[in-house]
Amino acid sequence: MKCRICGKEAFVKLRSYNLALCEEHFVEFVRRRVEKAIKKFKMVSKEDHILVAVSGGKDSIVLWHVLNELGYRTTGYFLNLGIDEFSNKSQKIAEEFANRFSLELKVEYLRDVLGVGIPEIARISKGKPCSTCGMIKRYLINRAGLDYDAVATGHNLDDESSVLFGNILHWQVEYLERQSPILPRDRTLAKKVKPLVLLTNHEIKLYADVLGLPYIPDSCPFSTGATTHYYRDILNTLEERMPGTKIRFYMGFIENKKGFKVKEKELKPCERCGYLTTAGICSFCRLRERIKIQFNLR
């Protein structure tokens, strides 16, 4: 099997594109996919200062690496969720990466913000903290992102297509409408972009491994059994049988999305923090109040 670009021995065959590539041209392929997503969806420009949400996992590390290689101005943001070993290891990786490439990294500790970490929140949410954790991350990443032109997150094609699959399966039209590789700035909502949407999990992992980038291999101890994992497995089975299914499914949706227009809920400033919400008091402030009572915090 030869690389289609240079004719050297190929090390990977991307079945979705019927494309064999050597290591060097595979790295170039990944960067071109990111550049293509950025241009196609008009995500950011070279003048913008981008806050990259870094978790220490392969997706956000690859995202930060590629944006830097492409010449974008970036600062990393790491939120320490207080999940003991896991959070500390992830933080070390984010710091190691930032040092290696002389990049700025901002670190925020959930324990400083709320007085507790995810393990305590798991106790008050019957052991399943993921939806609360997701809400906390969205809130704090958004808050940090308001000082920048855009916030970039490492959502990839597998994440986006499995979420899409779930939303269609349950006809969650409201979520469908908001599912987009770019969300523009709206008052206290920072602009959000997902430059990895045209790349699969497998391609991203390969890029990190070929270049020897550091990333945390273990998943969060709370991550077992999420429904999206089933959807991901189903899509992987389809992809195996019909290469290119995921990208056609996702891009087909994005291109035909206008049909899913729903009446948007009105956003109003939260009575406590002032950030936009559909409720009187936003979920983050409600959680903060609940934690204060439950844990006797001031």
Of 118, 152, 270, 287, which lies in the binding site for Zn ion, with binding defined by CB under 5 A? Answer: 270
Residues 225, 216: Cα–Cα separation, whole Å: 19
Cα dist from 110 to 63, 204, 260, 272, whole Å:
23, 28, 36, 19
Decide: is 133 part of the binding site for ligand SF4 (CB under 6 A): yes
Structure tokens of 104?
A: 């700025």
Of 37, 157, 282, 287, which lies in the binding site for Zn ion, with binding defined by CB under 5 A? Answer: 282
Closest to 63 in 3D by CA, of 180, 183, 155: 155
Nearer to ligand SF4 (CB atom), residue 26 or residue 231: 231
Amino acid at 240: E
DSSP 8-74: SBPSEEETTTTEEE-HHHHHHHHHHHHHHHHHHTT---TT-EEEEE--SSHHHHHHHHHHHHTT-EE
- Segment contacting ligand SF4 (CB under 6 A): 130-138, 149-157, 270-278, 287-295? 130-138
Of 134, 217, 244, 274, which lies in the binding site for ligand SF4, with binding defined by CB under 6 A? Answer: 134
Residues 77, 151: Cα–Cα separation, whole Å: 9
**From Zn ion, ligand SF4, none, interface partner of 222 (C-beta below 5 to 8 A by class):** ligand SF4
Of 19, 130, 135, 211, which lies in the binding site for ligand SF4, with binding defined by CB under 6 A? Answer: 130
Decide: is 217 part of the binding site for ligand SF4 (CB under 6 A): no
**From Zn ion, ligand SF4, none, interface partner of 223 (C-beta below 5 to 8 A by class):** ligand SF4
**From ligand SF4, Zn ion, none, interface partner of 133 (C-beta below 5 to 8 A by class):** ligand SF4
CB of 129 to ligand SF4, least distance (A): 5
Helix (H) or strand (E) holding 104: strand 104-109
Angle at 83 between CA 274 and CA 58, to 5 degrees: 90
Helix (H) or strand (E) holding 290: helix 283-294
CB of 175 to ligand SF4, least distance (A): 17
Nearer to Zn ion (CB atom), residue 87 or residue 277: 277
Nearer to Zn ion (CB atom), residue 157 or residue 270: 270
Cα dist from 17 to 36, 125, 235, whole Å:
15, 44, 17
Of 12, 22, 38, 164, which lies in the binding site for Zn ion, with binding defined by CB under 5 A? Answer: 22
Nearer to Zn ion (CB atom), residue 43 or residue 282: 282
**From ligand SF4, Zn ion, none, interface partner of 273 (C-beta below 5 to 8 A by class):** Zn ion
- For tokens 């389809």, what's the residue? 238
Of 118, 157, 176, 213, which lies in the binding site for ligand SF4, with binding defined by CB under 6 A? Answer: 118
